Amino acid sequence: MASLTPLKDIGEFALIRRLQQKINLRQPSTVLGIGDDAAILAPAAGQEVVVSTDLLVEGIHFDLMFCPLRHLGYKAVAVNVSDIAAMNAVPTQIVVGLSTGPRLTVEAIEELYEGMRLACEAYKVDLVGGDTTSSRGGLTISITALGQVEAGKAVRRSGGKPTDLLCVSGDLGGAFLGLQVLEREKQAFLADPETQPELGSYEYVVQRQLKPEARLDIVHELRELGVTPTSMIDISDGLASEVMHLCAGSGTGARVFSEYLPLANPTLEAAAEFNLDPITCALNGGEDYELLFTVPVTDHAKIKNHPDITIIGHLTEKEDAVNLITKGGQAVPLQAQGWTAF
């Protein structure tokens, strides 16, 4: 086993130098990256800048017992890129704040940054600034992402109109079931540390939990199809909560058809095994990081055959409220359980 270096042995400046060496800059808008009081960016002419920030807190958003640091680093970047994508923008830079207790070694922090570096590579994002400090508690990762979008072309939550089609990318509920699998394996391990984890048949849902991808591909594909969503939001807290946000922002109601919700086979299988309703997992599970968006009904032909976009319903007048339409045709008011982390 390679020797492990306590953080206090090298100090903050040396750690930053070590991490900095591995960073490549690839965005034309990055004038100056890490190493000064601030990074310098030169957004392209005619572009607006979008900015979003997210905190990931140990014990609340992740459990280091089953979340490998490299995956965690990747996910931390992906969830921020997802917010940028949800504005119809392309991510360009991130800055990273990291606070960690003495438990994590230099090598562990490097693993975490390696995951971030891989995500930056995948999404063509430059890591241009950071702050690394100690804490008395666990690990906290704070990422702020910047992106660019043609002036006036950012898509908000508020632009949806009654009759607009309500669409989601990918499939839902998987990340939540992946978490159930990981929690179960953790309990088994705690009961008997000799137990080998059995994740084989759950690979898909576990992957959805540990290494979600931001749907930047959908942003690019919609552009190629000539479709500009009227409103958009990313699905971090579960579909129900996001539909409520979108409708509140747009001043509309909605009809969401439960039988149209996209559920992958491994998700259905895992739900059956855990005796959970897959529809509930999709509505309230969260962490799928898919995109929820609306398009005018006149764009129906352009998207109906897209293999990775599903039309799950449509917006209505506000008075009609936000309803889930069951298979039997019954309208049930949608509950935004969302995410109350307090």
User: According to CB under 8 A, which residues from 182 to 241 bind a second copy?
Assistant: 232-234
Output 8 or 300, the one with its CB closest to a second copy: 8
Query: Does 338 contact a second copy by CB under 8 A?
Result: yes
Number of residues that bind a second copy (CB under 8 A): 76
89/165 with CB nearer a second copy: 89
Which of residues 2, 45, 191, 301 is near a second copy by CB under 8 A? 45
- Confirm or deny that 202 is annotated as ligand binding: no
Residues 219, 247: Cα–Cα separation, whole Å: 21
**126 near a second copy, judged by CB under 8 A:** no
134 marked as part of a ligand binding site: no
- Torsion, Cα of 81, 256, 306, 121 (10° steps): 10
Of 127, 146, 144, the closest CA to residue 33 belongs to 127
Is residue 137 within the footprint of a second copy (CB under 8 A)?
A: yes
Strands in 212-271 per DSSP E: 231-235, 253-257
| Cβ distance to a second copy smaller for residue 197 or 338 | 338
Q: How far is the CB of 195 from a second copy (least distance, A)?
A: 26
What residues between 139 and 168 interact with a second copy by CB under 8 A? 140, 142, 144-147, 149, 151, 154, 156-158
* Positions in 235-274 near a second copy (CB under 8 A): 249
Region of residue 189 (left: phi > 0; alpha: psi -120 to 50; beta: else)? alpha
Token digits for 160?
Answer: 């949806």
Torsion region of 70: left, alpha or beta (phi above 0 gives left; psi -120 to 50 gives alpha): alpha
Chain residues 274-313 in contact with a second copy, contact rule CB under 8 A: none
> Of residues 308-337, which lie at the interface with a second copy (CB under 8 A)?
none
Among 22, 28, 60, 272, binds a second copy (CB under 8 A): 60
Is 314 a known ligand-binding residue?
no
97: which 2 tokens?
């704040």
58 DSSP 8-state letter? B
What angle do helix axes 203-210 and 174-191 make, rounded to 10 degrees? 100
Q: How far is 177 from 171, CA to CA, in rounded Å?
A: 12
Q: Pick between residue 137 and residue 251 the one whose CB is nearest to a second copy.
A: 137
Q: How far is the CB of 105 from a second copy (least distance, A)?
A: 11
Q: How far is the CB of 198 from a second copy (least distance, A)?
A: 29
Q: Scanning residues 67 to 106, which ones bind a second copy (CB under 8 A)?
A: 83-84, 86-87, 89, 93, 95-99, 102
Q: How far is the CB of 124 from a second copy (least distance, A)?
A: 17
Q: Is 321 left (phi over 0), alpha (psi -120 to 50) or beta?
A: left
Instruction: Tell whether 61 is in a known binding site.
Output: yes
Q: Does 116 bind a second copy (CB under 8 A)?
A: no
b/e code 86-117 from CB counts within 10 Å (16+ = b): bbbbbbbbbbbbbbbeeebbbebbbbbbbbbb
**Residue set of the binding site for ATP:** 113, 130-131, 157, 236
